[in-house]
Amino acid sequence: VIPGWFSEISPMWPGEAHSLKVEKILFQGKSDYQNVMVFQSSTYGKVLVLDGVIQLTERDECAYQEMITHLPLCSIPNPKKVLVIGGGDGGVLREVSRHSSIEQIDICEIDKMVVDVSKQFFPSVAVGFEDPRVNLHIGDGVAFLKNAPEGTYDAVIVDSSDPIGPAQELFEKPFFESVAKALRPGGVVSTQAESIWLHMHIIEDIVANCRQIFKGSVNYAWTTVPTYPSGMIGFMLCSTEGPPVDFKHPVNPIDADDSHSKSRGPLKFYNSEIHTAAFCLPTFAKKVVDSK
Ligand SMILES: NCCCN[C@H]1CC[C@H](N)CC1
């Protein structure tokens, strides 16, 4: 990559590529799992790239981190124990720590370089690691969940990259089964679930698997993230059998004024109205999500 433009080219979105103007490359490395790069963009702040795929930018990361976190946590009355799979940049941790009812935040990230690079270049994102409730495990989330005692968590958040590379297993049925086992009755899971414009076939398979595994409710929600392919990204929001969860009406609202501390800063994107709106789908997506 030379100072000029970075284009996000991938077989995951053939024939298209979002580009960002590069001011300066700040870091380039190769971990045991993937290539890691950070660059200063002209208009989106610093950018984290893994194997050529944009993971977050300072300007729009709030949309993804706030929505993947508050859609599940605001849908249950009193979350206490939360597990984050992936999320090594710390952004989801920053959002989880806004909930005062939470007592324990476990995180399992496979690549230590992502954690270290985020702490060095994205302090406003990695601030999540400073919360005393956080227990960081460096390792494979699949193995972590296999060893998790049954019914441990109120919520699991799967903040993964795409199903090419280290995160591939996080999109497969055995993993979803291990998530369901680790959740309490009426517990909730929120997973990164790609784009309805680009990955309807992947979403179809995920929904079919979730319907078999999560006997509470299965929902798909979405948000806009300008620097993700197609400018949007979705989430699976599912609950296990037990006390019913109505994802579309937050029972545990968290709005802009409360919940922020000087280190975290205020919510920039999430609010209770956009929570409800996030589950409204265009017809072509509704057909797939509601029918599987
Ligand atoms: N916490 C960082 C978000 C990582 N999420 C994914 C990165 C890669 C994208 N194509 C999809 C979202």
For the beta carbon of residue 186, count every other beta carbon within 10 angstroms.
16
The predicted pLDDT at position 251 comes to: 95
159 is catalytic: yes
> What would the mean pLDDT of 256-285 be, rounded to a whole number?
88
Mapped onto helix, strand or coil, the DSSP state of residue 233 is strand
pLDDT of residue 167: 84
Per-residue pLDDT at 256:
62
Q: Which of 162, 168, 197 most suits a substitution to test ligand 1, by most atoms within 8 Å of the C-beta?
A: 162
Tens digits of per-residue pLDDT, 65-110? 999 999 999 999 999 999 999 999 999 999 999 999 999 999 999 9
Backbone angles phi, psi at 127, to 5 degrees: -55, -25
Average pLDDT over residues 273-287: 97
Three-state DSSP string of 182-219: HEEEEEEEEEECCCCCCCHHHHHHHHHHHHHHCCCCEE
Nearest CA to ligand 1 atom 12: 161
**pLDDT for position 165:** 80
**pLDDT the model gives residue 258:** 58
Contact 231, 224 (CB under 8 A): yes
Active-site option among 60, 131, 154, 159 = 159
Taking 60 as the threshold, does the pLDDT of residue 2 lie above it? no
Give the span between the Cα atoms of 164 and 10, in whole angstroms: 10
Does the pLDDT value for residue 3 go beyond 60? no
Nearest alpha carbon, ligand 1 atom 3: 55
pTM for the full model? 0.96
DSSP-derived pairing of the beta strands 104-109 and 134-138: parallel
Query: Which pLDDT score is estimated for 257?
Result: 60
pLDDT in tens, 147-170: 999 999 999 999 988 888 878 888
* Least confident piece of the model among 1-10, 53-62, 186-195: 1-10
The answer, yes or no, to whether any atom of ligand 1 lies below 6 A from the CB of 180, is no
| Res. 255: pLDDT tops 80 | no
Q: Is 53 in the pocket of ligand 1 (CB under 6 A)?
A: yes
Ligand 1 lined by 191 (C-beta under 6 Å): no
Q: Report the separation in Å between the CA atom of 28 and the middle of ligand 1, taken as the mean of its atom positions.
A: 18
Mind listing the pLDDT tens digit for each residue in 172-191?
A: 999 999 999 999 999 999 99
Q: Is the pLDDT of residue 259 over 80?
A: no
What is the chain's mean pLDDT, rounded? 95
Over 90: is that where the pLDDT of 25 sits? yes
Query: Residue 248's beta-bridge partner residues?
Result: none
pLDDT digit string, tens, across residues 104-129: 999 999 999 999 999 999 999 999 99
Sheet holding 46-50, edge to edge: 5-8, 18-30, 35-41, 46-50, 53-57
Q: What are phi and psi of 94, to 5 degrees?
A: -60, -40
